[in-house]
């Protein structure tokens, strides 16, 4: 395994983590919008519009907390998998050294 491989793996991990974060945030925002639009009558939207803004802000805060926990689990699993692959690589003698 050459010296550049861990840097490539880490940059791929950063890109995957950021894409997962954006995808989860968009998914959570869309699902909250669907739930709010489905369960609340239109007259409540018109009377309490500022309350809904606060609700969306607090919902985004909760989403980011949940996304943070999911990303920690994702990164931990990625590093565990990477470590197991590296251990297997060492134990098998390097897999075709030149």
pLDDT at 5: 57
How distant, in Å, are the alpha carbons of 4, 10, 13, 46, 57 from that of 7? 5, 5, 10, 52, 37
What global pTM score does this model have?
Answer: 0.49
Closest CA to 60 of 11, 96, 95, 24: 24
Closest CA to 28 of 56, 51, 54: 56
Going from N- to C-terminal start, the domains of the chain cover 14-91
- Weakly modelled stretches of the chain, pLDDT under 70: 1-9, 36-38, 40, 44-45, 48-50, 52-53, 95-98
pLDDT at 98: 46
């Amino acid at each position: 395994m050459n010296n550049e491989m861990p840097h490539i793996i880490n940059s791929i991990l950063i890109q995957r983590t950021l894409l997962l974060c954006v995808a989860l945030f968009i998914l959570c925002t869309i699902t909250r919008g669907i739930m709010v639009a489905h369960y609340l009558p239109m007259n409540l939207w018109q009377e309490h519009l500022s309350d809904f803004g606060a609700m969306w802000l607090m919902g985004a805060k909760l989403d980011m907390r949940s996304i943070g926990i999911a990303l920690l689990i994702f990164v931990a699993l990625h590093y565990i998998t990477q470590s197991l692959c590296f251990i297997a690589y060492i134990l098998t003698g390097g897999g075709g050294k030149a």
